[in-house]
A and B are shown apart, each in its own frame.
Chain A
Amino acid sequence: MLKSKIAQGFSPGMLLAIFVVIQFFRPAKNQDSQQDATQDIATIYPMPDSVQHMMQLACYDCHSNHTRYPWYAEIQPVGWLLNKHVQEGRQELNFQEYGKYSFRRQRNKLKRMKEQITAGKMPLSSYTLLHPEARLTPAQKQAILTWIDSTLTKI
């Protein structure tokens, strides 16, 4: 609806010009060159390698300091949207800065991770749609949940 209204006000040539111009406004990438593992959740609360690998594939694009960007992130405004998404995800929960959270916050985030995974809210379906490697099978989800449960009983 909105798009068609906007389109009515612009000629195709103008739209093309706008499209070209916005390509020059590129958001800074979330790709920290110093991969500091000291504060990583896997360092704080050790987990099986398989779980760590799953989390890196399914969670770390939005919840760490290093995003693996797809090719279409180079096209604006897609890149802007992705960037906003990643920023929100990181602010919410950053697995590579987990050690910086207070103990209570660490524990509560674990509990909420469990809720989100159990309810099927995470990983986001809009994300897994384009990232098949981030889709978790029930067995994979269970492996993560088992790790969360055993961690919660230990801390």
Chain B
Amino acid sequence: MKTIIISTLALTAITFAACNNNQPATSETQHSDSTAAAHHETAPAEKTLATVKPQFTDVSPATATALKAVIDSYLQLKNGLAADDDAATAKAAEAMSAALAKVDASQLTPEQKKIYAANEEDLKEHAEHISKNTGNIEHQREHFAQMSEDIYELAKAFGGGQPLYHAHCPMYNNNKGALWLSESSEIKNPYMGAKMANCGVMEELIQ
């Protein structure tokens, strides 16, 4: 336990220091980090944001409704992390578990099923872990990074039931970076929370 606390503190300190070093003075999208700078040149403003159309045009209304509930809980979860609120995050993760349980895979076409099944098990695991880790927001974020990849795959295939912005945080996980999806084009970084709320790059719009 002690080592966990110490390593968490150390990690937080390192991340914090890294963020301070790299944070630009004003711009939301600009970044001194090289990865971010590269993205910045290609995806500066909403107008020129690449738009992605969902792969499936034949999603049944029941499936669309069920998946929208999953996406909605994901967005709540993301907002919980952006607000550094571990309890709200855990609650949203519980909502996601419930929403995932309601998705009826038998309604899916074989092609749809393939993509859903590839992500379902992983998503359920992340939702469970996040719901159980109130008090350990950094661990919630580790799972959120992988969860976001699953949700991204689902959103690209099935749509999100609403326009979804795909954003990128170049600094998370020792500058390896991580993605997240948002209902808004305004950057509110769920990986860094309040200490670096505006850091991140918009990549594309899924609608």
Task: Evaluate contact between B3 and A101: CB separation under 8 angstroms.
Answer: no
Task: Evaluate contact between B117 and A102: CB separation under 8 angstroms.
Answer: yes
The stretch that binds A, out of B64-72, B76-84, B119-127, B163-171, is B119-127
* Total A residues in contact with B, Cβ cutoff 8 Å: 13
Q: Which residues of A contact B117 (CB under 8 A)?
A: 102
Task: Evaluate contact between A120 and B7: CB separation under 8 angstroms.
Answer: yes
Look across to chain B and name the residue whose beta carbon is closest to the beta carbon of A102: B121
* Interface majority SS (helix, strand, loop, mixed), chain B: helix
Look across to chain A and name the residue whose beta carbon is closest to the beta carbon of B8: A119
Q: Identify 14 residue pairs between A and B in the complex whose beta-carbon atoms are under 8 Å apart, listed by A's number.
A: A101-B121, A102-B117, A102-B118, A102-B119, A104-B118, A104-B149, A105-B122, A105-B125, A111-B146, A112-B142, A115-B142, A120-B7, A121-B7, A125-B3
Separation of A131 and B120 alpha carbons in the complex (Å): 36
A103 with B118, Cβ < 8 A, contacts A111-B146, A112-B142, A115-B142 known: yes
Please report B residues at the A interface, Cβ cutoff 8 Å.
3-4, 7, 11, 117-122, 125, 142, 146, 149-150
Separation of A125 and B121 alpha carbons in the complex (Å): 29
Say yes or no: is A108 at the interface (Cβ < 8 Å to chain B): yes
Q: Which residues of B contact A104 (CB under 8 A)?
A: 118-119, 121-122, 149-150
Q: Which residues of B contact A111 (CB under 8 A)?
A: 146
Q: Which residues of A contact B150 (CB under 8 A)?
A: 104
Q: Which residues of B contact A105 (CB under 8 A)?
A: 121-122, 125
A121 with B121, Cβ < 8 A, contacts A104-B150, A108-B146, A112-B142 known: no
A102 to chain B, nearest CB (A): 5
Q: Which residues of B contact A119 (CB under 8 A)?
A: 7, 11
Separation of A57 and B4 alpha carbons in the complex (Å): 23
Separation of A115 and B119 alpha carbons in the complex (Å): 21
Separation of A103 and B118 alpha carbons in the complex (Å): 7
Which residues A59-111 have CB closer than 8 A to chain B? 101-105, 108, 111
A3 to chain B, nearest CB (A): 19
Look across to chain B and name the residue whose beta carbon is closest to the beta carbon of A125: B3
Q: Which residues of A contact B119 (CB under 8 A)?
A: 102, 104
Q: Which residues of A contact B3 (CB under 8 A)?
A: 120-121, 125
Which residues A100-143 have CB closer than 8 A to chain B? 101-105, 108, 111-112, 115, 119-121, 125
B132 to chain A, nearest CB (A): 11
Q: Which residues of A contact B118 (CB under 8 A)?
A: 102-104
Separation of A65 and B150 alpha carbons in the complex (Å): 29
Among B118, B121, B122, B142, the most chain A Cβ lie within 10 Å of the Cβ of: B122
Q: Which residues of B contact A108 (CB under 8 A)?
A: 122, 146
B128 to chain A, nearest CB (A): 10
Separation of A16 and B149 alpha carbons in the complex (Å): 55
Q: Give 9 new A-B contacts, CB below 8 A, not counting A112-B142, A119-B11.
A: A102-B120, A102-B121, A103-B118, A104-B118, A104-B119, A104-B149, A105-B122, A105-B125, A121-B3
B197 to chain A, nearest CB (A): 24
Separation of A112 and B125 alpha carbons in the complex (Å): 12
Q: Which residues of B contact A102 (CB under 8 A)?
A: 117-122
